Chain A
Amino acid sequence: MLPFTLIAAAIALGGLMLPQLIGNPYYFYAGYGVLQYVVIATGWNILGGGAGYTNFGASAFFGGGAYMAALLFKAFDAPLFVQILGAAAAGMLLGVITGYLTLRIQGVYFAIATVALVVMLDTVVQNTEYLGGASGLAVLAAPAPAWFGGQTQYVFCIMLGLACGAVVLARWVEVSWVGRGLRAIKASEPAAEACGVPTLKLKLFACALSGGVMAAAGAPYPTYSAYLDPVSAFNLTIGLNALAMPLIGGTRSWIGPVIGAVLLASVQQIATVTISSEFNILVVGVVLIAFVVAAPEGLLGLVHRSKRKLQPEFGKIDAQTRS
């Protein structure tokens, strides 16, 4: 775990050098979008992949985090770090409440509740004058530190740090007792309970972590786009991608969501420039169904399967050469 954390920290710190090396701010603008999805997909997978509970409402957490950050900025002029912490706390609370109300019963109801959560938060924000209502809210953050050379580069580095932190957290969950407990719950909840796994507590813990990470991903968004409105904060695409990226990459391990997010988000960055965004959703929907039906373990599962298929072949060749 320690070497892994050190590597992640080195990547995050190395990112600080990028603004000095690359001049074109567009790369930071596009890179931010990809990294944002790395954080969201990783956060989603803590609960979704770990315990097998489907969250359709990633945009509720993302948008909730973004609005929490905007609120802290507007009310107290809070710096970005405080905004991120506040958003993460709000996301954790939101996760625990949703989880506490629905997780005791059945996974299906949790999934439906997350759909409703998006609708509810959206209506609340649209009816709150202070947060700009339906027309949105301009967020003019203080200029970024001079080192970064611009706001876009600055939020890119912040998001890179968040992504590294989220991945370290996800890996910790995976290898620690938390992940073992969650996997037991996924395999069979009554059996896990009987073995002394505190199922409800673990699920709530996973909900809190997952919600906190996804909300933290939304926190720099107001600073990034200098503007926040309900349509972009509670966008369906976020909820869809949060689900599609881990499923395409593979939900078993921390690397799956990262692979899925980098692949899908990069393709989308290119696709939104070249084709329409509606068509984009359609393509993701089709790819999602194709993966669920044909490769339920994602790309990682496909790699594993092909390895297993190849091994006996190697064995045969080995035996032939020996004889």
Chain B
Amino acid sequence: MIALELILNAIATGVALGSIYALMAMGLAITFGILHIPNVAHPAMVVAGAYAVAISNQYGLDPILAGVIWSVPFYVLGRLFYAFYAGSFEARGGGNTLQSLTLFFGASLIIEVALAVAFGTDMRSVNVGYVGHSLQLGLIVLPYRFLVPALVTPAVMLALWLYLVRTPVGLAIRAVAHDERAVSISGLDPFAVKRHAFGIAMALAVIAGAALVITGPIDPFGGRVYIGRVFAIVVLAGMGAIPGVLLAGILIGVAESLVMSFLSPSWATGVAFAILLATLGLKPTGLFGAAR
């Protein structure tokens, strides 16, 4: 009976955690999944967003609302950052992987250290009424600090998916991933489309940051442990498959949560990697990715 309770709770926590991971991976699903830009700075951008939300919360703003508001300036920052990236690499025929990875790695360091210098290395958290309370469903006990941000993911994912599938701009973003030259022949500027998509990815990072900071306190270097997870989610979902991101996130969240409760927390960081490697080895197109 105790074992059943433990399993059920591990799964419930895993689903909630996985949903939050999926939200963090959503922006990367655009940059890496659709645009094929290896943005290793994405988790650091999420943490930067979390800081913006935590600071706004000190003035009494609801974290999720703060995330939505902050997503506008971050969208602009994302556009500027892409313009810098494209200007330095794509102009001279595209940089190699080493160079673009180094650029993003350097950017993530700068973000982390800038946060540490500006706000100190103390943990930051948000103050909301429901933190500390839990939802009790039979044997399952789920804290609201996991449940509330977990519920944001399906809403964001639905909005993003409808945007990509139903709007002309969304069509252009999917098209630029498929064939850049054909897009420019159709009279669209591929650079502008990609810049817009990168901006959206950065805006999503803030919303993910809001979710992250509700689950628990964060520090400037907290993004690093998520690099493996978010890339694993994007690859497992299948490159470019937005609806798959949630399922992939939940799969990884549940697997991690089970390992954490039944083996040891020290192995939990390896779970995402094991899944990433297994996916690449067994089914490189991911769960929902089209064969390319």
What sequence of 0s and 1s flags, for each residue 279-292 of chain B, a beta carbon within 8 Å of any chain A beta carbon? 01000100000000
**Taking A282-B110, A282-B114, A289-B103 as contacts, is the C-beta distance between A112 and B228 under 8 angstroms?**
yes
B277 to chain A, nearest CB (A): 5
Question: Are A54 and B102 in contact (CB-based, < 8 A)?
Answer: yes
Judge if B270 is at the interface, Cβ distance under 8 Å. Answer: yes
**Which of A87-95, A99-107, A209-217 lines the interface with chain B?**
A99-107
Which of these, A54, A127, A282, contacts B113 with CB under 8 Å? A282
Question: Are B98 and A119 in contact (CB-based, < 8 A)?
Answer: no
Question: Which residue of chain B lies nearest to A56 when distances are taken between CB atoms in the complex?
Answer: B105
Give the docked Cα–Cα distance between A126 and B269 (Å): 13
Judge if A195 is at the interface, Cβ distance under 8 Å. Answer: no
Question: Are A293 and B103 in contact (CB-based, < 8 A)?
Answer: yes
Question: Are A285 and B95 in contact (CB-based, < 8 A)?
Answer: no
Question: Are A119 and B102 in contact (CB-based, < 8 A)?
Answer: no
**Taking A54-B97, A115-B224, A116-B228 as contacts, is the C-beta distance between A124 and B266 under 8 angstroms?**
yes
Question: Are B270 and A282 in contact (CB-based, < 8 A)?
Answer: no
Which of these, A120, A243, A281, contacts B269 with CB under 8 Å? A120
Question: Are B266 and A281 in contact (CB-based, < 8 A)?
Answer: no
What sequence of 0s and 1s flags, for each residue 291-316 of chain A, a beta carbon within 8 Å of any chain B beta carbon? 01100100000000000000000000
Question: Which residue of chain B lies nearest to A107 when distances are taken between CB atoms in the complex?
Answer: B97
Give the docked Cα–Cα distance between A126 and B267 (Å): 12
Give the docked Cα–Cα distance between A164 and B185 (Å): 56
Interfacial chain B residues near A81, Cβ < 8 Å: none
A84 to chain B, nearest CB (A): 28
Question: Which residue of chain B lies nearest to A283 when distances are taken between CB atoms in the complex?
Answer: B113
Interfacial chain B residues near A289, Cβ < 8 Å: 102-103, 106-107, 110
Chain B stretch 230-248: residues in CB contact (< 8 A) with chain A: 231, 235
Sort chain B's interface into a size bin. 35 or more
B112 to chain A, nearest CB (A): 8
Question: Are B40 and A115 in contact (CB-based, < 8 A)?
Answer: yes
**Taking A54-B101, A240-B109, A288-B102 as contacts, is the C-beta distance between A278 and B38 under 8 angstroms?**
no
Give the docked Cα–Cα distance between A111 and B227 (Å): 11
Give the docked Cα–Cα distance between A289 and B276 (Å): 28
Which of B38, B102, B273 has the most A CB atoms < 10 Å from its CB? B102
Chain A residues touching B, majority SS: helix
Which of these, B95, B99, B109, B270, contacts A281 with CB under 8 Å? B109
Interfacial chain B residues near A48, Cβ < 8 Å: 98
Judge if A27 is at the interface, Cβ distance under 8 Å. Answer: no
Interfacial chain A residues near B227, Cβ < 8 Å: 112, 115-116
Give the docked Cα–Cα distance between A123 and B273 (Å): 15
Question: Are A127 and B103 in contact (CB-based, < 8 A)?
Answer: no
A44 to chain B, nearest CB (A): 12
Chain B stretch 190-245: residues in CB contact (< 8 A) with chain A: 221, 224-225, 227-228, 231, 235
Question: Are B110 and A286 in contact (CB-based, < 8 A)?
Answer: yes
**Taking A116-B269, A119-B269, A292-B106 as contacts, is the C-beta distance between A281 and B113 under 8 angstroms?**
yes
Judge if B96 is at the interface, Cβ distance under 8 Å. Answer: yes
A62 to chain B, nearest CB (A): 17
Give the docked Cα–Cα distance between A278 and B111 (Å): 12
B229 to chain A, nearest CB (A): 9
Judge if B155 is at the interface, Cβ distance under 8 Å. Answer: no
Task: Tell me the B residues contacting A by CB distance below 8 Å.
Answer: 38, 40, 88, 95-99, 101-103, 105-107, 109-110, 113-114, 116-117, 221, 224-225, 227-228, 231, 235, 264-266, 269-270, 272-273, 276-277, 280, 284
Give 29 A-B contacts (CB < 8 Å), ordered by A residue.
A53-B98, A54-B97, A56-B105, A101-B277, A102-B277, A102-B280, A105-B280, A105-B284, A107-B98, A108-B38, A109-B276, A112-B40, A115-B40, A115-B224, A115-B227, A116-B269, A119-B224, A120-B269, A240-B109, A278-B116, A278-B117, A281-B113, A282-B113, A285-B107, A286-B110, A288-B109, A289-B106, A292-B99, A296-B99
Task: Tell me the A residues contacting B by CB distance below 8 Å.
Answer: 48, 52-54, 56, 101-102, 105, 107-109, 111-113, 115-116, 119-120, 123-124, 126-127, 236, 240, 243, 247, 278-279, 281-282, 284-286, 288-289, 292-293, 296
For the complex of A and B, the 6 pairs showing the least CB-CB separation, nearest first, are: A285-B109, A116-B228, A293-B88, A289-B106, A123-B266, A288-B106
